[in-house]
Amino acid sequence: MADNLFQGKLMAHVKALDPAWRSAFEAEPVRQTLHELDRFLQDRLDAGTVIFPARPFRALHEVAPRDVKVVLLGQDPYHGPGQAQGLAFSVPDDCRAPPSLRNMFTELKREYADQYQAQRNSLVRWATQGVLLLNTALTVEAHQAGSHARCGWTTVTDAILTRVLQEAQPKVLMLWGSHAQAREALLKEHPPQGPVHVLKANHPSPLSALRPPRPFIGCGHFAMANRWLEAEGVGGIDWLSNDEPPLRAASA
């Protein structure tokens, strides 16, 4: 059995977060939603449902709000055994790269043809450099894509994005696909405290990566993000690094 199974007790995962992230959940509607999600997830587990990942808030353990340079927004975790890590688009190195991740590497190779090397499938190295790899739903049932997309997670992840917007550091929002692009409305609802650059393209899924109106393949987003960050006086992301980041203790 896969070792990335969610074991329950969602509120324990929340309490294990850094206070800077927990502050995102202070509003009563968000706290209430988290408790409702806790009960919902426990009911599903009691019914024998397999849920991924083991650490729904993993993305928040890898980068502090003040250090976020890029937000890369996904939809929901991978729903196969051993895949989901709690980081959008990322899978363990010993897991075969899903199609969307392969297309991301294809785009990296196109943008950095002279420097490209075979990439590891785990994107923890991006997260520790300041890339918030956040899905809009943080849990999923086995083999049921989108199964928790309407269970309240959007309230929670919108609160996380709003917390990021409160930081003055310049940041890039990579919004791939209509689902992610719908979150752009948060910029009007919660005006950011620092410069924000929005990059939009189709989702890297094979179903849309080459299609209009904004094909993902050829979008140039990785290099564009770095150029903008550097112009704002912030170091870019080493997208091609395969270095193993320092191990972080699993708090929950």
The residues annotated as belonging to the active site are 76
Q: Which residue has the tokens 């850094």?
A: 18
Q: Is the Cα torsion angle 23, 37, 89, 50 positive or negative in sign? A: positive
- Sequence-separated (6 or more) residues with CB below 8 Å from residue 53: 4, 6, 77, 84, 85, 86, 139
